[in-house]
Structure 1
Amino acid sequence: MTVSHTRLVGVAAHLPETTLTTAELEDRLAAHNPDLPLRRGLIHDHSGVRRRHIALPHEKPSDLAAQAARRLLEDNDVQAADLDLIIYAGVSSDAVEPATGHIVAAKIGACCPVFDIRNACNSVLNALQVADVLITGGHHRRVLICCGELPTAGTPWTVAGDEEFVRVAASYTVSDVGAALLLEAADEPGVLAHRFAAYSAGWQAAVAAVDNLTTDFLPDRPSLGPLIVDSGELVRGIGSIDYGVFHKPLADLGLTWDDFAAICVHQATLPTLWWFCDQVGIPPGKVVVTIVQHGNLVAATLLVQLARAVGSGQVKRGDLVALVGLASGASAGIVVVRW
């Protein structure tokens, strides 16, 4: 049976209780790099991050996603057996093979099809787009999108000097987190629009490479390297994307930014957040700010912001919400929803 609309049933986030303040992180860096002239307060001044969440040593991305998923299902009186599709949409994953979605499904007791979607920090936003198409096309009726991010596992605690510190500085702003969103077929529209764009010529601006991936014999096995970011190039890459990707869906719906109860925007640093909002015309007062107290939440960012806005009462049933994604690649997108 073909259905015509997708509605958002609920959202949940799992933020590990253990936290590390930026001051504590700088103390640890200083202890590991006694010759590095790191000015205290530098990381906060450039990123706006005051603290980040740290998962327990034994936890994997699937554990974080499963914790958020269990909370979401319990809050909405839904059983894992009621799901007919799980999309895992984290940058972090437990393994190259199988899809991390299988591991999450096993941990929550689901027995439905699964697959992973990965597009840097826009992974969840793309998963929402795909889920909407599958639901409105009549292929699935209840879809769980989940995400587990464990980026602090790759924190580079020793650096060779100032130049390397600048290259890996983005790694000191990230946070561990789990998030989940439940969607289902409905008579009334919840997902109103989605639109995406990319400027792939700028892909080298932010890279977490797989080192030593080659058919040549090497004594070292392949491993995931730290996130290397050229902030100037990344901003230029985002700036090269036609901002019509954000404005056209609003114009088609007869909306302006002022019509939204909340606007969730991906946040890598506080300065770039406000720069972007100024470029696109997003009112700062509508933005759900998470970067300061929770750090860069990677692909889970928008779901954590939505959960916070709903939990605080900022967003109520029937309210409009814009989910605005920015990611390395570079890619950008927007999903407009009615909660």
Structure 2
Amino acid sequence: MAEAPRTATAPRWTTAARIAALGVFLPEERRTTAETEARLAAENPRLSLPKGLIERLTGVREVHLRPEGWQTSDLAVAAARRALAESPGPIDLLVFGSASQDLIEPATAHIVAAKLGIRAAVMDVKNACNSLLQGMQVAEALIATGQARRALVVSGEQPSHAVRWRLDSSAQFLRSFPGYTMSDGGAAVILEASDEPGIGVIGSRFSAHSEYWDVGTLPTGGSVNPHAVGGSYFDMDGRALERAFARVGLGIFHDTLAGLGVHPDDLDFVAVHQVALPMHRRIVELLGVDEARTEQTIAAHGNLASVSLPVQLHRAVQGGRVRPGGLVALVGLAGGISLGVTVLRW
């Protein structure tokens, strides 16, 4: 019998950290799905690629593209400046949590700190689309133990560089499919010690099912393929990934809420990582939450990777759907595969 996946953070009611500010940056330049398919057709005249397939399967209409010459750190910095303008003050910890990075070394957090002019302890946290959520987990834990007071957790996602335009076959098109729906963007969260009991992060739970690590990869830059032989492109079996998540299930969400004595109906807002519109609707149904308490972003903004959750939360706050005292859940789903749930009182 396989060993049950270990859970990283036990839920608790004692709050250590609260979100003091959110900042997001979505580039103005966009590429429509129709433009994506037109380029694929032009660059692969020998292949018969079904027209309209990408939007039919995913619901994605367009994606964001970074400004010319920008790096992942620039996207993170743009979002961080907005968060810092909302909540100015000293930062003693900077965590860069992203599936993307500027370089293998040094940590991209150093580059972000230098561009912001911040002197603080820094680190990178990487776990695919859960990177920023788990960056928040690390920052909250360090605040809880008194090792930090105010942490800036940032992400810059730049998956546009990993889109495969030249294809050998229709099969390769399907394995490269995720890249055509992914967006560039930046997000920033300022976490600070919570001086008001019950306000802030009240519980988190994370799990991993690492036997599925090879279902989806971006296989370059490490010891397996250090010099990017064959390029640096997404390679994913989408159906296998969907089957893997179906096997794993979303029990972690219900377990987290049960441990906190919270019912799904108690939640004012639920942010869920989104990779495709049909899948998002199925996940919301499985979570047992009212879809009206979620924010659908996948159609207009594509898959924003680890930037997805803060963008949804930021929109809900700006729209008045999350108010002081409201309960919020952040639900992360990532390749690898891993899941994460963070519950906070705003």
Counterparts of 1:107 and 1:228, CA distance in 2: 32
Match of 1:105? Answer: 113
CA RMSD of aligned residues (A): 1.8
Residue 222 of structure 1, CA deviation: 5.2
Counterparts of 1:238 and 1:208, CA distance in 2: 19
Residue of 33, 39, 43 corresponding to 2:54: 43
- Secondary structure, in 3 states, of the residue corresponding to 1:226? coil
- Secondary structure, in 3 states, of the residue corresponding to 1:248? helix
C-alpha deviations, 1:5-35, integer Å up to 9, x for none? 2111011100001011111111111111122
Match of 1:311? Answer: 318
Structure 1: any 5+ residue segments left out of the alignment?
A: none
Matched, 1:19 2:30: yes
Q: Does the 8 A contact of 1:197 with 1:241 survive in 2?
A: no
Counterparts of 1:214 and 1:64, CA distance in 2: 28
Matched, 1:132 2:171: no
Sequence identity percentage: 42
Change over 3 Å in CA distance of 1:127–1:305 after alignment to 2: same
Match of 2:205? Answer: 195
- Secondary structure, in 3 states, of the residue corresponding to 1:210? coil
- Secondary structure, in 3 states, of the residue corresponding to 1:57? coil
Residue of 181, 202, 205 corresponding to 2:215: 205
Match of 2:182? Answer: 174
Change over 3 Å in CA distance of 1:310–1:26 after alignment to 2: same
Q: Does the 8 A contact of 1:261 with 1:319 survive in 2?
A: yes
Counterparts of 1:214 and 1:144, CA distance in 2: 32
Q: Does the 8 A contact of 1:5 with 1:135 survive in 2?
A: yes
Equivalent position amino acid for 1:207 in 2: T
Return the TM-score normalized by structure 1: 0.93
Equivalent position amino acid for 2:234 in 1: L
- Secondary structure, in 3 states, of the residue corresponding to 1:204? helix
Counterparts of 1:212 and 1:153, CA distance in 2: 17
Residue 223 of structure 1, CA deviation: 7.2
Residue 57 of structure 1, CA deviation: 2.0
Matched, 1:268 2:275: yes
Residue 211 of structure 1, CA deviation: 7.0
Q: Map 1:1-339 onto structure 2 (within 5 A).
A: 5-76=16-87, 78-79=88-89, 82-188=90-196, 189-210=199-220, 213=223, 225-241=232-248, 243-339=250-346
Residue 93 of structure 1, CA deviation: 0.3
Counterparts of 1:234 and 1:155, CA distance in 2: 19
- Size of the aligned set, in residue pairs, is 331
Change over 3 Å in CA distance of 1:33–1:4 after alignment to 2: closer
Counterparts of 1:312 and 1:113, CA distance in 2: 34
Match of 2:3? Answer: none
Counterparts of 2:202 and 2:233, CA distance in 1: 37
Structure 2: any 5+ residue segments left out of the alignment?
A: 1-13
Return the TM-score normalized by structure 2: 0.91
Equivalent position amino acid for 1:234 in 2: L
- Secondary structure, in 3 states, of the residue corresponding to 1:225? coil
C-alpha deviations, 1:285-306, integer Å up to 9, x for none? 2221110100000111101111
